[in-house]
Structure 1
Amino acid sequence: MTIKVIVFDLDGTLYEDTHHFEYFAKKLSTRLNNADGFMNQYYEAVEEKHTLKVGTVYDRENDRILIQKEGRVLEAFQWDGTPLLPVEEYYPNAITFDFKTMQSIGDLWGVPIAIGRHFGLSSVEINEAFLETRRYMMSDEFVMSPVRGLANTLEELAKTKKLVLMTNSPQVDSERIVEKLGLKGLFTYAIFEAKKPVKTEERLRTIASHFGVETEEMMSVGDNWINEINPARKLGCSTIFIDVHQIGDARSADMVVHQVSELVTSLQLI
């Protein structure tokens, strides 16, 4: 079926810059007495030397780290990495992601957030640090490197397809980042603070209704499998997964790439 609408995530999908994650982590650490301990665990997680890493799940209520597939917990660990066995006794039922109890670590935003919660930061404190980081990203101090060929490729696609931006980030800073990337004016529809993955399917249906298309005529592009790929596949959308952290395989989406620069080539094939 011909693709008529392409839905793009923003962070980690339309740019490859990552230095803002450390900035965010440091902003969180300033709200703690044990800032050094927080940052040490952050660096361990980023370097995949910690049990918590991209692709895992943080059980906020029990301060545990989980490995799951389609909601079924396969492995569970205490924060220090001690396995919880047998796992079926701890998690007999499928888990769901609701922003309250289970946090999917689908990208590098999730790593400092989970560590912050482990160290006792409140949702208010985490959100304050997040907004400070987004303001930094809007500023001239945050220098971005647009992905070569992406703007031209999107311009060509926009001639025959509707391009949509759907992000969990706020509108003002997201629009500024889009402008910095040279992509202003290419998206005919946008959803900010989308509350993915909880509302991903609902948002995709809204987009389909807005453009008068079937979900099978849409494509979802993103770097967070739980947020952007899995819900879209359930609705029959085509998918491109930017698997930077190599947590999936060739079956994870219709097309799997490992960096945004590879995405450009995939988009040119549509």
Structure 2
Amino acid sequence: MDVKQIIDEAKLLIFDLDGTLYEDTDHFDYYCRLLQKRVPDEKKQAFWDTYENMKNGNHPVTIGKVYDIQNDASVTVDPMTLQVTKVMSFNGQEWPEEKVKDEFSGELVYDFDRLIAIGDGWWLPYATAMHFGLKQADTWECYNATKEYMVTDQFQLSKTPGLKQALERLREEKKLVLLTNSEKEDVKRLLKELNLDGLFHRLCTEGEKPLKTRDKMQAILDEFEIQPHEAVSIGDNFINEIAPALLMGLKAIYIQPNRIEVDHENLHVVPTLANAL
């Protein structure tokens, strides 16, 4: 069964926002530059170099990992079992197996205080900031400033070709839901900028993914009286919206331009949303 058939047969499509309905990444760099200004001058270059290494996959902390703020470490988690398989210090030293077992026994529980799922580009500047001693208040202020910048004339979102027309067509026969961690007003502004406002039957904002992904998805299924196998989760963040959906019995379309090693009968990988719709 190909991706388009999966979409055609579904009754409910649950979309992520950032990295899914738009795939720009320049705003992550903007966010990081704002944070960089808050570290001492002698650390600014190291701050940026660390972020660049993370972004390019040349650092223990990178997309797909979990950043442990308390231990300043990169945690590798099997997203389907939530078991920790490996831990490396920020400078690249691997933890002994016994230490991993002592620190992380059982399923890993994500939160937004200590164990941060690095599922997309928003979290790389955050992890860099935590390592260099900034406070969460710093990251929040810079994040909000970035969101404000994203709705100015200086920032232009790239619209996915044919997306609006595809959603208009799909909306006539399926339920379309947006499930995002972004705040409601930010979501409304971004959808207006993308010319996608009014196309979703439900906007589920401040979703607290991945901590509450399954709860939110279950509430959506219940609201529209849809069975898990009749729904598809579509997103670019495997930890946030793909693995939880597969564990619940939903089908999933993972937007990922690079090769991945995960294989699942209900998982379909596409390089861009345009390839799915």
Q: Same fold (TM over 0.5)?
A: yes
Which of the residues 44, 48, 64 maps onto 2:53? 44
1:27 aligns with 2:34: yes
1:73 aligns with 2:80: no
C-alpha contact (below 8 Å) 1:229/1:253 kept by paired residues: no
Moved over 3 A (4+): 87-94, 244-250
Deviation at 1:250, TM superposition (A): 4.1
| Counterparts of 2:107 and 2:251, CA distance in 1 | 26
| Counterparts of 2:25 and 2:261, CA distance in 1 | 20
| Counterparts of 2:247 and 2:256, CA distance in 1 | 19
> Which residue does 1:82 correspond to in 2?
93
> Which residue does 2:114 correspond to in 1?
101
Deviation at 1:130, TM superposition (A): 0.6
> Which residue does 1:63 correspond to in 2?
72
1:14 aligns with 2:14: no
| Counterparts of 2:158 and 2:139, CA distance in 1 | 27
Deviation at 1:212, TM superposition (A): 2.4
CA deviation digits over 1:18-50, x for unaligned, max 9? 100100001111121122221110111112221
| Counterparts of 1:130 and 1:252, CA distance in 2 | 37
| Counterparts of 2:129 and 2:226, CA distance in 1 | 42
| Counterparts of 2:261 and 2:188, CA distance in 1 | 30
Structure 2: any 5+ residue segments left out of the alignment?
Answer: 1-5
Return the letter of the residue paired with 2:49. Answer: N
CA deviation digits over 1:142-162, x for unaligned, max 9? 111101111111111111011
Deviation at 1:259, TM superposition (A): 2.4
Return the letter of the residue paired with 1:80. Answer: N
Return the letter of the residue paired with 1:240. Answer: I
Residue 5 and residue 170 in structure 1: after superposition, are their counterparts in 2 closer, same or farther (change >3 A)?
same
Return the letter of the residue paired with 1:158. Answer: R
* Count of matched residue pairs: 264
2:58 match: secondary structure: coil
TM-score normalized with structure 1 length: 0.92
> Which residue does 1:126 correspond to in 2?
139
| Counterparts of 2:131 and 2:265, CA distance in 1 | 30
TM-score normalized with structure 2 length: 0.89
1:213 match: secondary structure: coil
> Which residue does 2:212 correspond to in 1?
199
Deviation at 1:60, TM superposition (A): 1.2
| Counterparts of 2:249 and 2:216, CA distance in 1 | 14
Residue 111 and residue 160 in structure 1: after superposition, are their counterparts in 2 closer, same or farther (change >3 A)?
same
| Counterparts of 2:15 and 2:268, CA distance in 1 | 14
* Identity within the alignment, %: 35
Return the letter of the residue paired with 1:232. Answer: A
> Which residue does 1:172 correspond to in 2?
185
| Counterparts of 2:224 and 2:160, CA distance in 1 | 28
